[in-house]
Chain A
Amino acid sequence: MSLLRIDSLGVRYGEEVAVVNLSFSVDAGESVGLVGESGSGKTQTAMAILGLLPRNASVSGSIVFDGDELQGASEKQLDKIRAQRISIVFQDPMLALNPYLRIGDQISRVLIAHGMGNRQHAAARTLEMLKSVGLPDPGRQSQAYPHQLSGGMRQRAMIASALITEPDLLIADEPTTALDVTVQAQILDLLDAIRKNTALLLITHDLGIVAGRCERMLVLEKGNLIESGTTRALFQAPQQEHTKAMLAAAPRLAQSDLPASNSDEILVNVDGAAVSYVEPGHGQLHAVRDVDLQLKRGETLAIVGESGSGKSSLVRAILGLIPTRAGTVTYCGKKLPADARARAAKTRRDLQLVFQDPIGSLNPQMRVIDIIREPLHVHEKKLSRGDGKQRVEEMLREVGLGDGFLERFPHELSGGQAQRVAIARALILKPRVLVCDEAVAALDGSVREQILFLLRQIQQASGLSILFISHDLGVVRSIGHRVLVMYLGRMMELSSNTELFERPRHPYTRALIDAVPVPDPDRQRPPLPLGGEVPSILSPPSGCAFHPRCAYAISRCENTLPEKRVLGAVTVACHRAEELDL
């Protein structure tokens, strides 16, 4: 008998349909992946199982858990099931944990609330649980408040809280989406290792996470279950177009069909750039230290790093949005003033930026035509209204949107469309450098591919140079001609695309590559690629910033800062770069 059986489940919000006629089952101890893009109804399904849907949702069908019907069950009945027998881990542990309670207290409350032990017993059990989820020094950490823990540690605490009752089913809703890539692998491995007899329903948009971790998977599209089967079978022979498209869009590190760029003209040259902020109570925060880079005409330079690596600060300093503390930024051989206001109109229009959040970067009160036309209004004052409109129309077609979009407001656009509008706004002045700050991170797989394709197409046609910031090596593989790897404000490695992925020189680069979830169920997952988490930028480690997490660290790494070495076409900051074969 299956543990959970869902039969023709439907979730509607008035006219809007979130889940249609969904049937599936989960057996005891099994791990099942529920996969779909945003809006496919995967979270709605999880919430329906737990009876956590908002009041205005109308639910139909049946959800049977271990013989009990949950659909339409009273709160009282559900309270006996929730947390005790079905637990959930949410995407963002910062939002899921109560900021006013100590970690230990809020985990032991779960036990006490369900009558599974008195205060003393619960506290002991909590410590035990925190230890088994790998929280270092659990005695001390259990006294910490959520904000005092790092993202990965918070998610570990959340998992401890979900599993402390030894439930029969654990629902993990995008448990690693809010975490850095190197931490993501750790958390997924932990989930695998710790759940024992608990069945797992893993909800994700990322096929790479499901591969090799779930026995079976279900693919949702717009609320419909379109395909299901064993993970291996689905990866080898997907039947539905949508599944095929999702698989095609998943990151693959194997090959890159990026057309070469062959210009040696250096547009932007950054030499020894440093950026720092004053953090109240902490003194100086050094976000970027001593970074050099060159951007050539027609090439894409990708900047990769986890949170706190300083990649965003670096490009904002190049753009002049924030001042540099040291170093120079030259554009076409001319030194740029540090402050954006002092930039000449010419350089300002030559360097344009595309943001991460496509909707948030468009003024909600302006129509698409006015949004794209605004740069013209500033820099080409003589342009007539008619000519301006024509330019906007041409630009819209170039980014793959029709004239029908001219009069729309941002909230009437999808994420992908909004990002195209943002790209159109950035390109209307025909800049020579486009900076993309995590420009595809908020987009679904297939949309992400389209935007990357568009950027490459525009680059081919116009010789545009792109500075592309990303935390995702899969994306970098398909767009960056050269790649700069950053960690805690310092550059670790600067290399060409092929060289970086085939022969990484820095242990951190190797760890990043290993951490990418590849959609291949047969891939032998490398053992835990990287321990620990990114330290706080406020107190960076001595010597090489990476040494506390590095498997190859020697005593020299602890004491002295590695200088930048040039090995052929690669620049790398590692004491052992020559001897290591990664």
Chain B
Amino acid sequence: MISAKQVFKRARENNAVFYSASVLLAIALVAIITPLISVNEYLTTDFDRILHAPELAAMHLFGTDDLGRDLLVRTMMGIKVTMVVAIVASIVSLVIGVLYGAIAGYVGGRVDAVMMRIVDTLYALPFIFFVILLMVVFERNFLLIFVAIGAINWLDMARIVRGQTISLREREFVQAARLTGVSTWRIITRHIAPNLIGVVVVYVTLTIPQAILVESFLSFLGLGIQEPRTSLGALVSNGVNQLESAWWMLLIPGGLLAVILMCFNFLGDGLRDFFDARQSS
């Protein structure tokens, strides 16, 4: 593995990676710090200023919503929730997808066929139906969103990893390990998995925006985060309802959501170049 210092140096040379990572980091920091120093709470209503436009003097930098709650604090909370959902969902899909795909690809034969048919079957399930089913069977809760999003994303990941694994399995260094008597588990963890990192990292950064969009979509439908807590998706959904009277309720969280999505997409594209360069050098 390359050292953290080298990674930083290489990342610095790659503009797309560097700037998008910096912007994301800055947004995350602001989202964490702002609620701590703000005079407003995400729950308290300012009865004097309902649907108040952004104004510094009124201590509502992003304005207030239809219940008089400070939109700055709520937006920051939304960013935190959205990012946590996205990252946790991606980790869930990463762990399940990589292991599932690597095992199917490496073992091959009948095991592979059965495992991949299961993936196909899951693909065929309509996503919304699946989420509603989960909501009905279990209580509505925050955790379910992770499960629902992760459960969808890992399917793609498993397919990609399986394809890569099949090509790696035929490589001579894997044959050499097999011949020495290295166990299947060790071959997967030591020889296959590390060589998948390039593809996987890139794919994960591309699934994050996907997870964010799915969460926003669910919140928009009212199936996601529940009041009084909020996410960027839920804020946008609210904003749409108040579009005629309060533009800031839609444009501010919507704009931030767009910036975050773009950053993750740039990061993914940048990382792909980054790992390609490493492989060719």
Measured CB to CB, the residues of A under 8 A from B are 319, 321, 340, 343, 345, 348-349, 352-353, 355-357, 360-366, 374-375, 378-379, 411, 422, 425, 429
Stretch in B142-150, B175-183, B222-230, B257-265 with 4+ CB within 8 Å of A:
B175-183
Total number of residue pairs linking A and B with CB closer than 8 Å? 62
Contacting residues, chain B, for A348 (C-beta < 8 A): 179-181
Q: Which of B172, B195, B281 contacts A355 (CB 8 A)?
A: B172
B194 contacts the other chain (CB 8 A):
yes
CB-contacts of B259-281 with A (<8 A): 279, 281
A340/B182 in contact, CB under 8 A:
no
Q: Can you give 8 A-B contacts (C-beta < 8 A)? A: A321-B178, A340-B178, A352-B180, A355-B176, A361-B176, A366-B194, A378-B182, A422-B176
B194 proximity list for chain A (CB < 8 A): 363, 365-366
In the complex, what distance in Å separates the CA atom of A348 from the CA atom of B181? 7
In Å, the complex CA distance between A345 and B180 comes to 9
Q: Is B173 an interface residue (CB 8 A)?
A: yes
Contacts of A366 in B (CB 8 A): 190, 194
**Chain B min CB distance to A154 (Å):** 25
- A374:B180 contact, CB within 8 angstroms: yes
Which among A340, A345, A378 has the greatest number of chain B C-beta atoms within 10 A? A378
For residue A425, which residues in chain B have a CB less than 8 angstroms away from its CB?
176
Contact present for B172 and A357 (CB under 8 Å): yes
Number of interface residues of B (CB under 8 A): 21
**Are the C-beta atoms of B180 and A360 separated by less than 8 Å?**
no
Chain A residues lying within 8 Å of B181, measured Cβ to Cβ, are: 343, 345, 348-349, 378-379
* Least Cβ–Cβ distance between A225 and chain B, in angstroms: 28
In the bound complex, what is the Cα–Cα distance between A180 and B279 (angstroms)? 31
Beta-carbon contact of B173 and A360 below 8 Å: yes
For A375, the chain B residues whose CB sits under 8 A away are 180
Choice from B173, B179, B186, B281 contacting A321 with Cβ under 8 Å: B179
Please measure, in the bound complex, the distance between the C-alpha atom of A345 and the C-alpha atom of B172, giving whole angstroms.
21
Interface contact A353-B178, CB-CB below 8 Å: no
Flag if A353 contacts B176 (CB, 8 Å): yes
Report how far A363 CA is from B194 CA in the complex, Å. 9
Complex Cα–Cα for A364 and B173 (A): 9
In the assembled complex, the CB of A32 is this many whole angstroms from the nearest CB of chain B, namely 33
Do A340 and B179 have beta carbons less than 8 Å apart?
yes
CB of B176 within 8 A of CB of A365, answer no
B117 within 8 A of A: no
Centre residue among B172, B178, B183, B195 by max chain A CB count within 10 A: B172
Least CB distance, B189 to chain A, in whole angstroms:
12
* Nearest residue, chain A, Cβ from B177: A374
Shortest CB distance B158–A (Å): 21
Residue contact B195 to A353, C-beta cutoff 8 Å: no
In the assembled complex, the CB of A358 is this many whole angstroms from the nearest CB of chain B, namely 9
**Per-position contact with A for B34-65: 1 when CB-CB < 8 Å, else 0?**
00000000000000000000000000000000
* Inter-subunit contact B172/A365 (CB<8 Å): no
Chain A residues, CB < 8 A from B179: 319, 321, 340, 348, 352-353
Q: How far is the CA of A257 from the CA of B175 in the complex (A)?
A: 34
Interface residue B140 (Cβ < 8 Å from any Cβ of A):
no
Task: Return the 8 tightest CB-CB contacts between A and B, nearest first.
Answer: A361-B172, A365-B194, A363-B173, A355-B172, A375-B180, A348-B181, A360-B172, A378-B181
Determine how close the nearest CB of chain B comes to the CB of A14; give it in whole angstroms.
Answer: 13
